[in-house]
Structure 1
Amino acid sequence: MLTSFEYAQSQQKYSISILDSGRSVSLRGLSVPSDSIVWVSGNNGYVARSTDGGAHFNWMQVAGFEKRDFRSIHAFNADTAVIMAIAEPAQILRTTDGGAHWQIVFTDNTPGMFLDAMHFEGTSGAVVGDPVNGRLFIAHTEDAGRSWFKMKPYMPEAEEGEACFASSGTNMQLVKVQRRLPFLALVTGGMVSRLHLIPVPGSKAGVTVNTLPMIQGKETTGANSIAVWKDSWLVVGGDFTRPNDTTGNCAISTNSGKNWHKPGTPPAGYRSCVIYVDKGKALTSGLNGVDITDDDGLHWFPISNQSFHVIQKSQRGNSVYLAGSKGQIGKLLDIKN
């Protein structure tokens, strides 16, 4: 339990500048190709882009998708980005002109389809969805999202009531385990909360599964997000109907997901996103605030009580941006080492 002094000290080291807010859109997609380029996506078909570090955002509503929810986005630069629309039909769109025009590059009309998250490393990417016919849905791309292929041999079986959360687009990472071919590290929640290590196409390895020490047993519980820094892995989540509850909201691994334990000081409530910003240093956000750790998740300290769904660090820089409800976009300032 933090003392009032520790809480005050942690808040003094950091501040979050609000760049845009007050819009009737919930933002869960966020991508930061560089310190100056920021893309966000949300419900009601909205996407926004900044090319000046968040000083100005150009908001756009994708024509024909005004009632769709874009829960995940990945931008390669100021011109090219990919967005993911949840629910039926599951669709992925791509732009190469800064969002002026969008092309549908993937559609799946299967009943029950619900895409949850998308992740890229370079031009390789993957998208995950809730179970269809008892298996988690996974598709991949090797050409920066121009074409997508279902990973049928690698779709893992889901237990009863197990699913993914479309809370921040960060419930999976492409990682290397023991210097082998990349795996898709995917975390789930619901009645059970597990880590699935899924091999990329072409690998002879099989899918491995590890139960996480997260709160589980309800549709609203479990893991929401995973962050990876070499062998150090962090998972956050909780119960989104109880935003202040710290029960089972974080798990830590120091050996690439083989073993997991709980932190000594957990984040201050349910958390939908976690990211590493440097070695040992990570940020996590949720409905009741933002926390930071300097020791690979062993101890978390609140730095803000502002609500954000998602955080991302610049892919080619050091800037950290946040996004959430009511069109709120923020930037982390004044980090003092």
Structure 2
Amino acid sequence: MRRTVKWIRALSVALAVTAAGAAPAQAAQRPVPGVAWQAKATGSDARFRGLAAVSRSTAWVAGTKGTVLLTRDGGGHWRDVSPPGAGALEFRDVEAFDARHAVVLAIGEGEASRIFRTADGGAHWTESFRNTDPRAFYDCLAFFDHRHGIALGDPVDGRFRVLATADGGRTWRLLPPAGMPAAQPGEAAFAASGQCVVTSGTRDAWIATGGAAASRVLHSADRGRTWTAAATPVPAGDPARGVFALAFRGGRGLAVGGDYRAGQPSERAAAVSADGGRSWRAADEPPAAYRSGVAWLPRGRATAVAVGPTGSEITTDGGRTWRGFDTGSYDTVACAPDGGCWAAGEKGRAARLGAAPRPQGSGR
């Protein structure tokens, strides 16, 4: 762990120095030295949009065809721990507390939306929630601690739906809709990376939205019982556009998104908040295209990573400017407290963030 912390701190300093020396107009285009995704073969062809980073050695991924994989050796080997009989389900989120306890969410209309829980590393699973309302569609989930968590569903009767658990995902209850502001026409959340609802601390949660006239971020300070809404500068106005993912560290927030359709422009694909999500401003230099996942690096005070199908960027100034460092396709990203950052995506892709290899002949 000491070696990991040292590397993350050194990386953050090096990136900050490089960014400070770059011309503003060029910073987003120049490659970032010293950082790279290191691919970890999973042996699967599933598309992984659910990812839980427990540590540098332990991570869970969840995706298509009811697939859930677990590694405990830094991605050297992955064990298929998929729930039995789940092959027709689309897992889009996984939240894990350690190598034994995890909760996964399957999306879809009606009974396709389900939640499963394991307490023995995937050897056995229990279905703890199955949606019985044909109008409901659940997108993502998040936990405040080992016991308390929420799951987000798209609007029904004009308001987003929120499930809550107080026993680590064993049971779930629908929270009263009265504390939720009215949804805009066409507004929804995107089940793209498991980051359409996120938490920070023991009570605060945020929801990312799109599809309506304006993209918004909803905030709750009481574990999902009541919410307030704030508009963001990330373009919406179309079912394919809006905020897709959030990351918060205390009151500092990052929002990324854009237009997920291939080849479509995604101007102003990132925004930042300095007041807990009450207000948002566009990034000065946003990512180059649509991005579906974002995560703060745990040891870099103002450093975060964003990923999407066409590449990855890093920021060292709290989200004001983003610089590309990889062109591979990833849908989701997560960082563990010990500094281990992971990404996952299509065709069974999984990777861990590390130091870029030195060019041959570069010396020490």
**Normalising by structure 2, what TM-score?**
0.85
1:290 is aligned to 2:312: yes
User: Is residue 151–residue 201 contact of structure 1 (8 Å, CA) maintained in 2?
Assistant: no
Give the percent of matched residue pairs that are identical in Structure 1 and Structure 2: 31
Classify 1:245/1:5 alpha carbon distance in 2 versus 1 (closer, same or farther; 3 Å): closer
Task: State the distance in 2 between where 1:100 and 1:251 align.
Answer: 41
1:172 is aligned to 2:194: no
Question: In the alignment, what sits opposite 2:138?
Answer: 115
Instruction: Give the partner amino acid of 1:233.
Output: G
Question: In the alignment, what sits opposite 2:247?
Answer: 227
Find the residue that maps to 1:252 and give its secondary structure: strand
Structure with higher helix content? 2
Task: State the distance in 2 between where 1:76 and 1:335 align.
Answer: 29
Q: 2:90 aligns with which of 69, 73, 76?
A: 69
Instruction: Give the partner amino acid of 2:196.
Output: N
Task: State the Cα deviation string for residues 168-209 of structure 1 (Å, max 9, x = none).
Answer: 011222246xxxx82321110112311111342697xx5311
CA drift of 1:134 comes to 1.5
Task: State the Cα deviation string for residues 303-331 of structure 1 (Å, max 9, x = none).
Answer: 100010001111x3111110000010011
Task: State the distance in 2 between where 1:156 and 1:258 align.
Answer: 15
Task: State the distance in 2 between where 1:50 and 1:136 align.
Answer: 34
Task: State the distance in 1 between where 2:284 and 2:27 align.
Answer: 18
Classify 1:202/1:282 alpha carbon distance in 2 versus 1 (closer, same or farther; 3 Å): closer
1:133 is aligned to 2:154: no
Task: State the Cα deviation string for residues 127-158 of structure 1 (Å, max 9, x = none).
Answer: 10111122111011122111111111434421
Instruction: Give the partner amino acid of 1:99.
Output: G
CA RMSD of aligned residues (A): 2.1
Task: State the distance in 2 between where 1:24 and 1:286 align.
Answer: 18
CA drift of 1:21 comes to 5.1
Classify 1:335/1:200 alpha carbon distance in 2 versus 1 (closer, same or farther; 3 Å): farther
Question: In the alignment, what sits opposite 2:34?
Answer: 13
Classify 1:197/1:16 alpha carbon distance in 2 versus 1 (closer, same or farther; 3 Å): same
Find the residue that maps to 2:244 and give its secondary structure: strand
Question: In the alignment, what sits opposite 1:93?
Answer: 116
Matches within 5 A, 1:1-337: 3=26, 7-8=30-31, 10=32, 12-20=33-41, 23-87=44-108, 88-89=110-111, 90-123=113-146, 124-152=148-176, 153-175=178-200, 182-191=203-212, 192-200=214-222, 206-242=226-262, 245-277=265-297, 278-314=300-336, 316-334=337-355
Structure with higher strand content? 1
Instruction: Give the partner amino acid of 1:163.
Output: A
User: Is residue 94–residue 146 contact of structure 1 (8 Å, CA) maintained in 2?
Assistant: yes
Gaps of 5+ in 1: none
Find the residue that maps to 1:163 and give its secondary structure: coil
Task: State the distance in 1 between where 2:199 and 2:268 align.
Answer: 24
User: Is residue 82–residue 122 contact of structure 2 (8 Å, CA) maintained in 1?
Assistant: no
Gaps of 5+ in 2: 1-23, 358-364
Task: State the distance in 2 between where 1:97 and 1:221 align.
Answer: 39
User: Is residue 22–residue 326 contact of structure 1 (8 Å, CA) maintained in 2?
Assistant: no
Task: State the distance in 2 between where 1:4 and 1:72 align.
Answer: 33
Task: State the distance in 1 between where 2:35 and 2:316 align.
Answer: 13
User: Is residue 27–residue 322 contact of structure 2 (8 Å, CA) maintained in 1?
Assistant: no
Task: State the distance in 2 between where 1:247 and 1:14 align.
Answer: 25
User: Is residue 158–residue 182 contact of structure 2 (8 Å, CA) maintained in 1?
Assistant: yes
User: Is residue 116–residue 127 contact of structure 2 (8 Å, CA) maintained in 1?
Assistant: yes
Task: State the distance in 1 between where 2:93 and 2:335 align.
Answer: 15
Task: State the distance in 2 between where 1:99 and 1:242 align.
Answer: 35
CA drift of 1:230 comes to 2.0
Between Structure 1 and Structure 2, how many residues are aligned? 327
Task: State the Cα deviation string for residues 40-61 of structure 1 (Å, max 9, x = none).
Answer: 0001010000111111001244
